[in-house]
Amino acid sequence: MGSRRTNNRHHRKSRRRSFRHRLTSTVHQAPGTLQRPPDASPTQLRQIEYSATRVVSRVISDPLDLVSARMEETGITWLQLQGFSDLGQLRSLGEVFELDPLTLEDLIGHPQRPKQERYPHYLEVILYRPDLQRGDRLRLEQVGLILGDRWLLTAEADDTSAGFQPLERRLEGSRIVAPPIEADTLAYWVIDWIVDSYFPVLETFGEELERLEDAVVARPTQTLLSEIYELRRELMVLRRVVWPLRDVINALIRDRTTLIRDEVRMDLRDCADHAYFLMDTLETYRDLANNLMEVYLSSISNRLNQVMKLLAILSTVFMPLTLIAGIYGMNFNTQASRWNMPELNWPYGYPLVLMAMVAIAVVLLWLFWQRGWLEDWSKPSRRVEHEP
């Protein structure tokens, strides 16, 4: 647990340094200027040609070769770009597909807000794909989509991710069981896959919230407080990308461009419903995380009250005993007066006083128990399960 917190702190510090570098590196630069990211991965470009009769996948070393690799009239082309270390390939892609320099800057400019931009002959969409790596650390991968007439370009910064392998298998299966898809349908599949990838992440966060809730009530510690803060931060990061995701999908539905058919707009409504459900669930989890802080503080306060109550009970029990011991410790001279502590001369005075002190302590503890003052109020009560 300690190594996980250390790794998370190191990751947050390195990410903040990288974020500050990206912000300061773009100052006083002309719009559309391409700058290689400091942690850019090697550039890989793959082309998937899809038609009713074949699915061909090839690695492209020079984007200018795409000019001579045109698809047949009934097919579409899916280009997958991973890594932004080679800006020359990105510029070549811009020349082949006539992309605006601002679009190329959006693809490699991190961080970008999820958005949708319409250009004369293509659509630009920026989204984020969540991923939980080892240690349950949230990672967001920016995905850029460029939708053309019969082609789709997807761009990711990380070349080590699994990419769109599930979609590629689905694409291969659709060639057999369904008519050939269009480029807008493929774009819808990518968007739907990205939206659905949030559900396992939220499910993991929901399980983490339940675990933290039980642990906070049972035994609040400083470690749990750190985990609650970390979970609240990750939920806040998710909210920043899910909130504009709804606007992006709604913009694609409302935009009357010819690049998106009416039947695809109907399918995008399902994505919008999923995005709204994600936002509702995320808001619920954020409220639960905030409530966990209040529960933590209440648990700490209850435990402190329990300790103070125990100390008060012990003090109350020993107060009469201390009084008796103090009285018999005054050592008045019994020969000077018959009223000076005659009990000192009793043969059974000492055991009788001890028995009286024990009896007083037992009676006080019994009275406290009858009033319920000895119960531990900081522990949760047992849940009563009712049989159906």
Predicted pLDDT of residue 179 = 53
Give the model's confidence band at 136: pLDDT under 50 very low, under 70 low, under 90 confident, else very high. Answer: low
Give the range among 186-190, 294-298, 311-315, 336-340 with minimum mean pLDDT: 336-340
How many angstroms separate the first and last alpha carbons of the chain? 40
Report how far apart, in Å, the C-alpha atoms of 337 and of each of 175, 244, 325, 329, 334 are: 116, 94, 21, 17, 6
Contacts 24+ apart (CB under 8 A), 115-123: 115/244, 115/248, 116/248, 116/251, 116/252, 116/255, 118/255, 118/257, 121/148, 121/149, 122/97, 122/146, 122/147, 122/148, 122/259, 123/147, 123/187, 123/252, 123/255, 123/257, 123/259, 123/260
Predicted pLDDT of residue 198 = 93
- The tokens describing 72, both together, are 């047949």
Average pLDDT over residues 197-207: 91
Chain-centre distance for alpha carbon 38: 26
The C-alpha atoms of residue 114 and residue 280 are separated, in whole angstroms, by 18
Residue 278 has pLDDT above 90, yes or no: yes
Average pLDDT over residues 349-365: 85
Residue 6 has pLDDT above 50, yes or no: no
Please state the φ and ψ torsions of residue 140, each to the nearest 5 degrees.
-110, 125
- The tokens describing 102, both together, are 């601002």
Residue 37 has pLDDT above 80, yes or no: no
The C-alpha atoms of residue 268 and residue 252 are separated, in whole angstroms, by 8
Give the model's confidence band at 23: pLDDT under 50 very low, under 70 low, under 90 confident, else very high. Answer: very low
Predicted pLDDT of residue 381 = 46
pLDDT digits (tens, 9 = 90+) for 185-194: 999 999 999 9
Average pLDDT over residues 300-329: 81
Residue 358 has pLDDT above 70, yes or no: yes
What domains, with CATH codes, occur in the chain? Answer: 40-297 (3.30.460.20), 302-370 (1.20.58)
Q: How, if at all, do strands 76-82 and 151-156 pair?
A: parallel
Percent of the chain with pLDDT over 70: 80
Give the range among 40-44, 193-197, 211-215, 333-337 with minimum mean pLDDT: 333-337
Predicted pLDDT of residue 147 = 94
Report the alpha-carbon angle 328-334-335, nearest 5: 165
Predicted pLDDT of residue 58 = 84
Question: Which of 136 and 300 is assigned the larger pLDDT?
Answer: 300
Residue 338 has pLDDT above 80, yes or no: no
Average pLDDT over residues 320-343: 79
Average pLDDT over residues 206-221: 85
**Across 107-111, 263-267, 326-330, which has the greatest mean pLDDT?**
263-267
Closest alpha carbon to 114 in 246, 25, 225: 246
Give the model's confidence band at 384: pLDDT under 50 very low, under 70 low, under 90 confident, else very high. Answer: very low
Residue 62 has pLDDT above 50, yes or no: yes
pLDDT digits (tens, 9 = 90+) for 236-260: 999 999 999 999 999 999 988 889 9
Handedness of CA 289, 291, 297, 302 (dihedral sign): negative
Give the model's confidence band at 3: pLDDT under 50 very low, under 70 low, under 90 confident, else very high. Answer: very low
pLDDT digits (tens, 9 = 90+) for 366-378: 887 877 777 665 5
Q: Say if CB 305 and CB 373 are below 8 A apart.
A: no
Closest alpha carbon to 112 in 158, 84, 144: 144
Concatenate the DSSP letters of all residues of 320-379 into one string.
HHHHHHHHTTS---TTT-TTS-GGGG-TTHHHHHHHHHHHHHHHHHHHHHHTTTTS-TTS
pTM for the whole thing? Answer: 0.73
Handedness of CA 371, 375, 381, 386 (dihedral sign): negative
Residue 386 has pLDDT above 60, yes or no: no
Give the range among 48-57, 80-89, 248-257 with minimum mean pLDDT: 48-57
Q: Say if CB 157 and CB 83 are below 8 A apart.
A: yes
Give the model's confidence band at 133: pLDDT under 50 very low, under 70 low, under 90 confident, else very high. Answer: low
The C-alpha atoms of residue 4 and residue 8 are separated, in whole angstroms, by 6
Predicted pLDDT of residue 68 = 47
Residue 329 has pLDDT above 90, yes or no: no
Q: What does the mean pLDDT of the chain come to?
A: 79
With 0-12 CB in 10 A as exposed, 13-18 as middle and 19+ as buried, what is 189?
Answer: buried
Average pLDDT over residues 254-283: 91
